[in-house]
Amino acid sequence: MKFEVTRRRFLVGSSVAATGLLTGCDALVTNTSVNDILQKAEALTMGSQRLLQAHEPLAREFTEADLSPTFKANGTQMPDSEDYARLMEGNFADWRLVVNGMVRTPLSLSLADLKALPSRTQITRHDCVEGWSAIGKWTGVPLGLVLQKAGIAPGARYAVFYCADEYEKTLDGSGQYYESIDLVDAFHPQTILSYSMNGKDLEVAHGAPLRLRVERQLGYKHAKYVMRIELVDSFKGVWGGKGGFWEDRGYEWYAGI
């Protein structure tokens, strides 16, 4: 019997083969034990970067000449809540940053209180997980100073940032944006709570009145519209339990790469 590979047969054959391969790949992608193995790479990345960052190097700082002409605003650009609208109307005079959880003295700080503290200005590159970068100038109070003021209770390991925006409208509120970093990053000199961008008050699209800058990690760690900082010893019980809005949706908690 002669087997003739016609064009039609070839096309049908190769599309069946391609579909088989694709379903095979997607089956691997959705397999939880495969995912567990793949996720081990995150610990390897974080471990090796932390090892090589033992001398606490700074992220590159640029000059005014390097600023992006337009700094792309990403994620939420206007929180959709009445509370936020009210705060914005009052020019954030009534806004307070709450610092609580595993601290000795819980704090409630106004924007004026934060601005009265020593500040740091840095021109840094913002790297989005999607692949783009923008350079901006940020002024704010080092997070370490605020945490020292509150006094960290023994056992605290992470700072969790609760934001005013709900990035994904959900009935149970689990679309609320939040982020977290550990104390190594929290006390890094370039980790600041920023209230000013490119020499002006932080715009709403960029997280007014206060956003976190955690240089050396990707953009989604830089929580905007920060309302409260809670010191915790674990993420258990905080929304999805992975330490952040995007982390709960599959992204790495350590976003140094």
Partner 1 sequence: MTSVTDHETVRPKKILFYRHSFAVRLTHWLNVLCLSFLLMSGLQIFNAHPELYWGQYGADADHSFISIGAFQDGDTIKGVTRIGSISIPTTGVLGASTVDGELTPRAFPSWITIPSFQDLATGRRWHFFFAWFFVINGFVYLLYGLIAGHFRRDLVPSKDQLTPQHLAHEIGEHARLRFPKGEEARRYNSLQKLSYMAVIFILLPLMVLTGLTMSPGFDSIVPWLVDVFGGRQSARTIHFITASLLVAFVVVHLVMVLVSGVWNNLRSMITGYYGLSVDTDKETAK
Nearer to partner 1, 195 or 246 (CB): 246
Work out whether 250 is an interface residue with partner 1 (CB under 8 A).
yes
Task: Say which amino acid occupies 148.
Answer: Q
Secondary structure E strands in 44-166: 97-101, 107-109, 120-127, 133-142, 158-166
Nearer to partner 1, 76 or 95 (CB): 76
Nearer to partner 1, 20 or 155 (CB): 20
DSSP reduced 3-state for 38 = helix
Site for partner 1 (CB under 8 A): which residue of 132, 168, 199, 203?
Answer: 132
Q: Shortest distance, CB of residue 87 to partner 1, whole angstroms?
A: 28
Site for partner 1 (CB under 8 A): which residue of 130, 168, 203, 233?
Answer: 130
C-alpha atoms less than 13 angstroms from C-alpha of 89 in its C-beta half-sphere: 6
CB atoms under 10 Å from CB of 102, counted, come to 18
> What residues from 177 to 206 belong to the interface with partner 1 (CB under 8 A)?
none
SS3 for 159-188, per residue? EEEEEEEECCCCCCCCCEEEEEEEHHHHCC
Work out whether 134 is an interface residue with partner 1 (CB under 8 A).
yes
Distance CA 15, CA 19 (A): 6
User: What is the rounded (10 degree) CA torsion for 109, 160, 121, 117?
Assistant: 20
Interface segment toward partner 1; rule CB under 8 A; list 5-13, 62-70, 99-107, 114-122: 62-70
Work out whether 234 is an interface residue with partner 1 (CB under 8 A).
no
Q: Are 230 and 101 in contact (CB under 8 A)?
A: yes
Interface segment toward partner 1; rule CB under 8 A; list 53-61, 91-99, 160-168, 169-177: 53-61
Q: Shortest distance, CB of residue 37 to partner 1, whole angstroms?
A: 8
Binding site for partner 1 (CB under 8 A): 18, 22, 25-26, 29-30, 35, 37-42, 44-45, 49, 52-53, 57-60, 62, 66, 68-72, 125, 127-135, 215-218, 246, 249-252, 256-257
